[in-house]
Amino acid sequence: MSYLYLIGAIIFEVFGTILLPVSKNFTKPLISIILIVSYMISFYLLTFALKEIPIAIAYSTWAGVGIFLITLLGYLFYNQSLQWQSLVGLLLIAAGVSIVNTFKNQEIL
Protein backbone atom coordinates (compact mmCIF):
# COMPACT_ATOMS: atom_id res chain seq x y z
CA MET A 1 0.00 0.00 0.00
CA SER A 2 2.90 2.36 0.71
CA TYR A 3 4.03 2.24 -2.89
CA LEU A 4 0.54 3.30 -3.98
CA TYR A 5 0.88 6.35 -1.75
CA LEU A 6 4.32 6.98 -3.22
CA ILE A 7 2.97 6.72 -6.78
CA GLY A 8 0.20 9.16 -5.86
CA ALA A 9 2.75 11.54 -4.35
CA ILE A 10 4.81 11.39 -7.54
CA ILE A 11 1.79 12.02 -9.76
CA PHE A 12 0.65 15.07 -7.78
CA GLU A 13 4.18 16.48 -7.58
CA VAL A 14 4.67 16.10 -11.32
CA PHE A 15 1.25 17.63 -12.01
CA GLY A 16 2.07 20.63 -9.81
CA THR A 17 5.47 21.10 -11.41
CA ILE A 18 4.03 20.93 -14.93
CA LEU A 19 1.63 23.73 -13.95
CA LEU A 20 4.44 26.07 -12.88
CA PRO A 21 4.95 27.63 -16.34
CA VAL A 22 1.18 27.85 -16.86
CA SER A 23 0.78 29.79 -13.60
CA LYS A 24 2.85 32.66 -15.10
CA ASN A 25 4.76 33.27 -11.83
CA PHE A 26 1.59 32.72 -9.78
CA THR A 27 -0.33 35.46 -11.59
CA LYS A 28 -3.05 33.03 -12.68
CA PRO A 29 -5.04 32.48 -9.45
CA LEU A 30 -6.93 29.29 -10.34
CA ILE A 31 -3.88 27.56 -11.82
CA SER A 32 -1.77 28.70 -8.85
CA ILE A 33 -4.27 27.28 -6.36
CA ILE A 34 -4.39 23.94 -8.22
CA LEU A 35 -0.59 23.89 -8.30
CA ILE A 36 -0.26 24.55 -4.54
CA VAL A 37 -2.95 22.00 -3.69
CA SER A 38 -1.17 19.44 -5.89
CA TYR A 39 2.06 19.95 -3.95
CA MET A 40 0.21 19.72 -0.64
CA ILE A 41 -1.44 16.45 -1.65
CA SER A 42 1.91 15.15 -2.86
CA PHE A 43 3.60 15.78 0.49
CA TYR A 44 0.58 14.44 2.36
CA LEU A 45 0.69 11.18 0.41
CA LEU A 46 4.45 11.00 0.83
CA THR A 47 4.02 10.98 4.62
CA PHE A 48 1.89 7.84 4.34
CA ALA A 49 4.47 6.20 2.09
CA LEU A 50 7.12 6.89 4.74
CA LYS A 51 5.28 4.71 7.26
CA GLU A 52 6.70 1.60 5.57
CA ILE A 53 9.30 2.80 3.08
CA PRO A 54 12.61 4.19 4.41
CA ILE A 55 12.94 7.92 3.71
CA ALA A 56 16.06 7.49 1.55
CA ILE A 57 14.27 4.98 -0.68
CA ALA A 58 11.01 6.93 -0.85
CA TYR A 59 12.66 10.27 -1.54
CA SER A 60 15.09 8.96 -4.14
CA THR A 61 12.22 7.21 -5.92
CA TRP A 62 9.97 10.28 -5.64
CA ALA A 63 12.67 12.60 -6.95
CA GLY A 64 14.05 10.28 -9.62
CA VAL A 65 10.74 9.28 -11.14
CA GLY A 66 9.56 12.89 -10.83
CA ILE A 67 12.57 14.20 -12.75
CA PHE A 68 12.11 11.53 -15.40
CA LEU A 69 8.40 12.30 -15.87
CA ILE A 70 8.82 16.08 -15.77
CA THR A 71 11.52 15.91 -18.42
CA LEU A 72 9.36 13.70 -20.62
CA LEU A 73 6.27 15.88 -20.16
CA GLY A 74 8.29 19.06 -20.69
CA TYR A 75 9.39 17.63 -24.01
CA LEU A 76 5.83 16.63 -24.96
CA PHE A 77 3.87 19.66 -23.73
CA TYR A 78 6.37 22.52 -23.81
CA ASN A 79 8.52 21.40 -26.77
CA GLN A 80 11.64 21.51 -24.65
CA SER A 81 14.60 19.97 -26.39
CA LEU A 82 16.49 16.94 -25.16
CA GLN A 83 20.12 16.31 -26.06
CA TRP A 84 21.50 12.80 -26.14
CA GLN A 85 23.35 13.53 -22.88
CA SER A 86 20.00 14.29 -21.23
CA LEU A 87 18.58 11.00 -22.45
CA VAL A 88 21.60 9.12 -21.06
CA GLY A 89 21.12 10.93 -17.74
CA LEU A 90 17.44 9.97 -17.66
CA LEU A 91 18.33 6.34 -18.30
CA LEU A 92 20.85 6.50 -15.45
CA ILE A 93 18.20 7.98 -13.15
CA ALA A 94 15.79 5.17 -14.10
CA ALA A 95 18.52 2.59 -13.50
CA GLY A 96 19.42 4.19 -10.17
CA VAL A 97 15.82 4.17 -8.95
CA SER A 98 15.51 0.52 -10.02
CA ILE A 99 18.71 -0.46 -8.20
CA VAL A 100 17.77 1.42 -5.03
CA ASN A 101 14.37 -0.27 -4.92
CA THR A 102 15.73 -3.71 -5.79
CA PHE A 103 18.27 -3.72 -2.98
CA LYS A 104 16.31 -1.71 -0.41
CA ASN A 105 16.19 -4.52 2.17
CA GLN A 106 19.93 -5.23 2.21
CA GLU A 107 21.94 -3.45 4.87
CA ILE A 108 25.49 -2.33 4.25
CA LEU A 109 26.50 -1.29 7.74
Which pLDDT score, from 0 to 100, does residue 9 have?
97
Q: Are 61 and 101 in contact (CB under 8 A)?
A: yes
What are the structural domain ranges in the chain? 2-102
Series of mean pLDDT values for 10-residue runs along the chain (109 residues): 95 97 96 97 96 90 91 91 88 86 68
pLDDT at position 15 is: 97
pLDDT for residue 109: 56
pTM of the model: 0.85
So what's the pLDDT on residue 102?
Answer: 81
Could you tell me the CA-to-CA distances from 62 to 2, 40, 46, 69, 98 in Å, in that order? 12, 14, 9, 11, 12
Query: What pLDDT shows up at residue 105?
Result: 67
C-alpha distances out from residue 85 to 70, 76, 81, 89, Å: 16, 18, 11, 6
CA distance 53 to 36: 25
